[in-house]
């Protein structure tokens, strides 16, 4: 295959990251040999890009591409290695383009420009770029601070890479440690409910978390948790995981008292932490009330009837009277306030109902792909990737038995963050013979 401009730059950028973090092997003789050869190739690429524009008389236009910007950023890690003589004019040209056209660029490109100019002694443009980035940032008390940009399959559209680069920019140029910590929080929260999808994203995220800001790995004290006025001691809960401070404990039914519902948590460290408390108990399905976390579910049951206007859906309420043979439609409304991966939605059926769709298959609906599997007592929906938003699931049932039944509840849980779960409320239905 042909040499790859971006891949070469990415490898050289990695050496720059290691050197910036103080990893000694990044300046070994072998690493220097690799970087010298690669930088010579990259200088040639930026020169060729410039000569192409110059030959066609296009130098007065906006020619600031992603590869050129990434070159300026990557090259900024190696000020001790002079740019090739025949490439200096090209580098000066694209630096001038960066100073002139930074306002028309996306957030990722603005981060590249800010770092490239700052490391070359520019003290005017980088602070203005950071001020603009602050104005366009999004903030949530739980999720931290981040930026929403166009997402796609190109290397410059990856949200993790964008966040990591902007963390680097604010760490190196700005002095707002609190903002940097909020940005790092967003990276970790994305890891909580999904995963850093590629080795590139993982390396970029780890680099960003190791940069300046509060030293998150220095906190050694555990969160202080009290239940019912009594302190929860990790020593009595089994071993505490090294590094993360994770521990787990449980209580038997005889130990659970109403006072345990009085819970307080305090974090003595200047770093974020999170956990979850699950209270499990037996209850009749029709008496269960709805519960929500960042995921929320609403389940409704409809009867399909024929009318002079065609088929219409009539919502069924508590203690509704149905007849054997009625066709029902289950409608589940799912809301999520963040992106999640590997989500399982399970909808339980009343004992007197039989599914009409008996074949399990993959479906695509309203931008959401999922696998629907019909079981003996429930219908399961397996979702690989759930984007933030609202979704509606529907499937038909047939009333097959007379009697009084609990309709069953719908429940959902995220595999990567089991504490994010929810369930709908239950109702009771009456079926006449």
The CATH code of the domain that includes 88 is: 1.50.10.20
Reduced to 3 states, what is the DSSP secondary structure of residue 390?
strand
In a domain, 139, yes or no: yes
Question: 343, 301, 289: which is closest to 430 by C-alpha?
Answer: 301
pLDDT: is 383 or 239 the higher one? 383
Nearest C-alpha neighbor of 377 from the set 409, 351, 402: 351
Whether residue 277 is predicted with pLDDT greater than 60 in this model: the reply is yes
**Domain contains 240:** no
Q: What CATH number is given to the structural domain containing 310?
A: 2.60.40.690
Structure token pair of residue 348: 């339980």
- Tell me which H or E stretch contains 171: helix 159-172
Question: Of 144, 179, 209, at which residue does a domain stop?
Answer: 209
Question: Does residue 289 share a domain with residue 200?
Answer: no
Q: Is residue 336 part of a domain?
A: yes
Regarding whether 197 and 49 lie in a shared domain, the answer is yes
CA-nearest of 106, 128, 116, 214 to 174 is 128
Q: What is the DSSP letter of 308?
A: T
Main-chain phi, psi angles of 243, to 5 degrees: 90, -50
pLDDT on residue 319: 63
Adjacent-strand bridge partners of 391: 334
Q: Is the pTM of this model over 0.85?
A: no
Q: Averaged over 407-433, what is the pLDDT?
A: 84
* Same-domain status, 155 and 300: no
**What integer is the mean pLDDT of 287-307?**
83
- The verdict on residue 265 lying in a domain is no
Write out the two tokens for 240.
């505490």
204 and 291 fall within a common domain: no
Predicted local distance difference test score (pLDDT) of residue 77: 95
Residue range 158-172: mean pLDDT, rounded? 92
Q: What tokens does 345 get? A: 């939605």
In a domain, 329, yes or no: yes
**pLDDT tier for residue 198 given thresholds of 50, 70 and 90:** confident
**Average pLDDT rounded to a whole number, residues 306-315:** 83
What pLDDT sits at residue 338? Answer: 84
Using the 3D structure, point to which of 209, 236, 252 is the last residue of a domain: 209
Indicate the pairing of strand 340-348 with strand 410-414. antiparallel
Task: Look at residue 71 and tell me whether its pLDDT is greater than 90.
Answer: yes
Which pLDDT score is estimated for 238? 57
- Which residue range(s) make up the domain with 150? 5-209
Percent of the chain with pLDDT over 90: 47
Number of domains into which the chain is organized: 2
Phi, psi (deg, nearest 5) at residue 329: -130, 125
- Examine residue 260 and state whether it is found in any structural domain, yes or no: no
- Band (pLDDT 50/70/90 cuts) for residue 311 is confident
**Strands of 129-232, DSSP E:** 138-140, 144-146, 224-227, 230-231
- Strand 410-414 and strand 421-423: the pairing is antiparallel
267 falls within a domain: no
The pair of three-digit structure tokens given for residue 101, joined into one six-digit string: 């056209």
Highest mean pLDDT among 68-77, 135-144, 207-216: 68-77
Within this chain, do residues 176 and 317 fall inside the same structural domain, yes or no?
Answer: no
Average pLDDT over residues 149-178: 87
10 Å CB burial of residue 383 (0-12, 13-18, 19+) is: buried
The tens digit of pLDDT for each residue in 202-235 reads 898 888 888 865 666 666 677 888 888 888 877 5
Q: Which of 157, 186, 209 is the last residue of a domain?
A: 209
How many secondary structure helices (H) and strands (E) does the chain include? 9, 19
Whether 247 is in a domain gets the answer no
Give the model's pLDDT for residue 218: 63
Above 60 in pLDDT, residue 367? yes
């Amino acid at each position: 295959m042909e040499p790859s401009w971006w891949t070469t730059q990415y490898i050289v950028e990695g050496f720059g990251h290691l050197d910036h973090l103080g990893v000694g092997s990044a300046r070994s003789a072998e690493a220097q040999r690799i970087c010298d050869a690669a930088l010579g190739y990259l200088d040639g690429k930026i020169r060729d890009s410039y000569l192409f524009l110059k030959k066609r008389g296009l130098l007065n236009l906006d020619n600031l591409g992603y590869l050129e910007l990434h070159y300026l950023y990557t090259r900024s890690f190696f000020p001790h290695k002079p740019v090739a003589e025949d490439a200096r004019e090209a580098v000066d040209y694209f630096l001038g383009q960066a100073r002139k056209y930074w306002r028309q660029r996306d957030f990722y490109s603005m981060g590249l420009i800010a770092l490239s100019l700052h490391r070359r002694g520019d003290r005017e443009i980088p602070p203005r770029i950071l001020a603009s980035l602050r104005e366009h940032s999004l903030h949530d008390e739980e999720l931290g601070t981040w930026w929403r940009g166009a997402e796609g399959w190109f290397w410059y559209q990856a949200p993790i890479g964008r966040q990591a680069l902007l963390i680097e920019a604010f760490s190196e140029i700005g002095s707002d440690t609190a903002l940097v910590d909020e940005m790092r929080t967003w990276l970790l929260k994305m890891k909580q409910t999904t995963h850093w999808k590629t080795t590139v994203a993982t390396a970029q995220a780890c680099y960003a978390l190791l940069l300046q800001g509060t030293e998150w790995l220095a906190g050694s004290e555990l969160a202080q948790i009290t239940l019912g006025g009594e302190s929860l001691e990790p020593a009595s809960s089994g071993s505490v995981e090294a590094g993360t401070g994770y521990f787990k404990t449980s209580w038997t039914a005889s130990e659970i008292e109403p006072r345990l519902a009085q819970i307080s948590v305090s974090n003595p460290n200047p770093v974020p932490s999170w956990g979850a408390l699950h209270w499990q108990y037996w209850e009749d399905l029709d008496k269960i009330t709805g519960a929500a976390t960042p995921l929320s579910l609403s389940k409704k049951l409809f009867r399909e009837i024929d009318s002079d206007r065609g088929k219409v859906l009539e919502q069924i309420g508590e203690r509704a009277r149905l007849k054997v043979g009625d066709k029902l439609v289950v409608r589940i409304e799912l809301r999520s306030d963040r992106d999640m991966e590997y989500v399982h939605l399970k909808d339980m059926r009343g004992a007197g109902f039989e599914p009409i769709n008996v074949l399990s298959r993959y479906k695509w609906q309203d931008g959401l792909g999922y696998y629907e599997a019909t079981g003996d007592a429930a219908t399961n929906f397996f979702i690989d990737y759930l984007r933030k938003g609202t979704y509606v699931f529907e499937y038909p049932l047939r009333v097959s038995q007379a009697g009084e039944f609990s309709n069953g509840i719908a429940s959902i849980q995220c595999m990567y963050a089991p504490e994010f779960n929810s369930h709908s409320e239950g109702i009771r239905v009456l079926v006449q013979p």
